[in-house]
Amino acid sequence: MRLSKWSNQASEKEYKLSDPTSEVIFHAYPQSPVAEKVRVAFGIKGLAWRKVEIPRLPPKPMLTALTGGYRRTPVMQIGADIYCDSQCIIRDLERRFPSPTFMPTSDQGLMWCLSRWTDGALFDQTVRHILGAAGNQLDQGFAADRGRLYLGEDWAAALKQANADLPHLVSQVRAPLSWLNTQLSDGRAFLLGPQPAAIDAQFYHVVWFLRGRWGDGPSFLSEFKDLVHWEANIQGIGHGTCSDMDPQDAISRANSLEPTAETGVAPHDPQGLSVGQPVTVQPDVNGGEQPVAGTLRYADAETVVIERSAEGVGNVCVHFPRSGYRINLL
């Protein structure tokens, strides 16, 4: 097996985030594939971080108290700044902790473009595949919740169709894995070369999900020898250093601090946004999710930040990606 010789130099001086204004607090549950993506990102950076375990299914009152209603997993908190969606999380980790970088080549823009596919169409295809393979074995509460998010309002009929259509769904996941295997066929340790990048974590969470949540996953993946070697290299990175945190302590942390997000709107905003404008933000899909309401604090081509206050939580800024999210003007 061709194991990576890459060494995370930051791991020897691992970021010690005892300062409450910069400590990374991660709200997630262990089985979440998107949380695994971010845990690998923590490993690349060599971060020490705090874990707040949240329920797999709503209600998630301690989480939504911070986010204003956003319930997807994971969420990152630093002080009174709350980061929704792994796009936002990875982008802010790179800004705050630039070494070692998530972008070891000059292809940063291309990597972000590709990540919209790994996190969007490819992940959604994988979810349909895994839900379809599980079929009637799924817990009904879990099936109803995730089915509505990923299969639409008529999720029960869509789940039956996914089960009947499983060979086709497998073929749709197999093709991208074959592409990955080809990329790795020259013996490289990671997708872009000798150093891991954000795109490794963004692809890896799909492979991790297939291996762990589909009964045929291990035998299916064994077809892709170079991908399996790469998978071992990703696992060798680890997750940084984690310690538990009580959910109430995370809320108290936010309440004791003020957010540090920038204020302003970048030129040429297509929605004509302005600071202080009342808005809501939500994923741009029909998943029945609650919009998050607040006043606009910052917006550019990639990010939108809204400010909101709640009793017991105080004043927080909630960060969202612009891509894949809808901003509604009130």
Per-residue pLDDT at 13 exceeds 90: no
- CA angle, 285 then 289 then 295, to 5°: 95
Condensed to tens digits (0 to 9), the pLDDT of residues 148-186 reads 888 888 889 999 999 999 999 999 999 999 999 999 999
DSSP assigned state of 257: S
How far apart are the C-alpha atoms of 13 and 100, rounded to whole Å?
Answer: 12
Q: Are 80 and 258 in contact (CB under 8 A)?
A: yes
Q: Where are the alpha helices (DSSP H) in 46-139?
A: 61-67, 86-96, 108-117, 123-134
Burial class of residue 26, CB neighbours in 10 A (0-12, 13-18, 19+): buried
> Where are the CATH 3.40.30.110 domain residues in the chain?
9-100+241-329
Q: What is the pTM of this model?
A: 0.95
**Buried b or exposed e, range 70-93, using 16+ CB within 10 angstroms:** bbbbbbbbbbbbbbbbbbbbbbbb
> Where are the CATH 1.20.1050.10 domain residues in the chain?
108-231
In the predicted model, what is the mean pLDDT of residues 62-90?
97
Per-residue pLDDT at 319 exceeds 50: yes
How far apart are the C-alpha atoms of 70 and 88, rounded to whole Å?
Answer: 14
How far apart are the C-alpha atoms of 75 and 83, rounded to whole Å?
Answer: 6
How far apart are the C-alpha atoms of 204 and 31, rounded to whole Å?
Answer: 14
User: Please, which residues bridge with residue 314 across strands?
Assistant: 310
Q: Are 136 and 162 in contact (CB under 8 A)?
A: no
Per-residue pLDDT at 11 exceeds 60: no
Q: Look at strands 292-299 and 264-265 and give their pairing.
A: parallel
Condensed to tens digits (0 to 9), the pLDDT of residues 16-54 reads 556 889 999 999 999 999 999 999 999 999 999 999 999
Per-residue pLDDT at 10 exceeds 60: no
Q: Are 119 and 87 in contact (CB under 8 A)?
A: yes
How far apart are the C-alpha atoms of 214 and 131, rounded to whole Å?
Answer: 9
Write out the two tokens for 61: 């009152």
How far apart are the C-alpha atoms of 226 and 271, rounded to whole Å?
Answer: 45
Domain covering 9-100+241-329: architecture: 3-Layer(aba) Sandwich (3.40)
How far apart are the C-alpha atoms of 41 and 202, rounded to whole Å?
Answer: 9
User: Regarding the domain delimited by 108-231, which CATH topology (the fold level of the hierarchy) does it fall under?
Assistant: Glutathione S-transferase Yfyf (Class Pi); Chain A, domain 2 (1.20.1050)
Q: How far is CA 221 from CA 35, 170, 214, 228, 285, in A?
A: 21, 11, 11, 7, 30
How far apart are the C-alpha atoms of 184 and 178, rounded to whole Å?
Answer: 10
Q: Look at strands 241-244 and 48-53 and give their pairing.
A: parallel
Condensed to tens digits (0 to 9), the pLDDT of residues 80-100 reads 999 999 999 999 999 999 999
Q: Where are the alpha helices (DSSP H) in 138-239?
A: 140-151, 155-164, 166-183, 198-213, 217-221, 225-237
Q: What is the pLDDT of residue 69?
A: 97
